[in-house]
Amino acid sequence: MYDIERYLNIRSAYGGSFSPNGETLSFLMDTTGTSQVWSIDGPGQWPDQHTFYDERVTFASWSPERRELAFGMDEGGNERDQLYLLGPDTGEVTNLTQRADAKHWWGGWSHDGERFAFTSNRRDNSVFDVYVQARDAVGNDAELVYEGDGWLNVGGWSPDDTRLIVTEAYSNFDQDVYVLDIESGKLTHVTPHEDSIRYQSVTWGPDGENLYLVTDDGADTLYLARLDLDTREMTMVEEGGEWELDGVAIDHDTGRLVYSQNVDGYTELVTGTFADPDTVETFPQPDLPHGIAGGVSFGPDAERFALTVTGSADNTNVYVVEMETGEAERWTYAATAGIPRESFVEPELVHYPTFDGRQIPAFFTLPETDTGHGETPVIVDIHGGPESQRRPSFSGVKQYLVQHGYAVFEPNVRGSAGYGKAYGHLDDVENRMDSVKDIEAAVEWLHDHPAVDPDRVVALGGSYGGFMVLAALTEYPELWAAGIDIVGIANFVTFLENTGEWRRELREAEYGSLEDDREFLESISPINNIDAIQAPLFVLHGENDPRVPVGEAEQIVEKAREQGVPVRKLIFDDEGHGFSKLENRVQAYTEIVDFLEEHV
pLDDT (tens digit, 9 = 90+) per residue, 359-402? 999 999 999 988 889 999 999 999 998 889 999 999 999 999 99
Q: Distance of CA 35 to CAs 57, 62, 315, 577, 593, Å?
A: 5, 17, 15, 16, 24
Query: Which pLDDT value is given to residue 68?
Result: 97
- Identify the CA nearest to 399 among candidates 339, 310, 489: 339
Q: Is 322 a member of any domain?
A: no
Query: Which pLDDT value is given to residue 510?
Result: 80
Q: Is 278 a member of any domain?
A: no
Query: Which pLDDT value is given to residue 494?
Result: 94
Total structural domains in the chain?
A: 1
Q: Is 475 a member of any domain?
A: yes
Query: Which pLDDT value is given to residue 54?
Result: 94
Query: Which pLDDT value is given to residue 319?
Result: 98
Please give the Cα distance from 215 to 190 (Å, whole number). 13
pLDDT (tens digit, 9 = 90+) per residue, 5-44? 999 999 999 999 999 999 999 999 999 999 999 999 999 8
pLDDT (tens digit, 9 = 90+) per residue, 158-207? 999 999 999 999 988 899 999 999 999 999 999 999 999 999 999 999 98
- What DSSP character marks residue 523? H
Q: Which residues pair with 157 in a beta bridge?
A: 164
What is the CA 283 to chain-centroid distance, rounded?
28
Q: Answer whether the bond into residue 300 is a cis peptide, omega within 30°.
A: no
Query: Which pLDDT value is given to residue 507?
Result: 82
* Residue range(s) defining the domain that contains residue 416: 346-599
Tell me if 250 sits within 8 A of 206, measured CB to CB: yes
Query: Which pLDDT value is given to residue 429?
Result: 85
Q: Is 423 a member of any domain?
A: yes
Query: Which pLDDT value is given to residue 500?
Result: 75
Q: Is 529 a member of any domain?
A: yes
**How many angstroms separate the most distant Cα atoms in the chain?**
71
Which residues in 299-347 belong to E strands, given as ranges? Answer: 304-311, 314-322, 328-330
Q: Is 203 a member of any domain?
A: no
Q: Is 437 a member of any domain?
A: yes
Angle at which helix 501-511 crosses helix 514-524, to 10 degrees, equals 70
Query: Which pLDDT value is given to residue 370?
Result: 87
CATH number, domain at 496? 3.40.50.1820
Residue spans of the chain under pLDDT 50: none
Query: Which pLDDT value is given to residue 513?
Result: 86
Query: Which pLDDT value is given to residue 271?
Result: 98
Q: Is 116 a member of any domain?
A: no
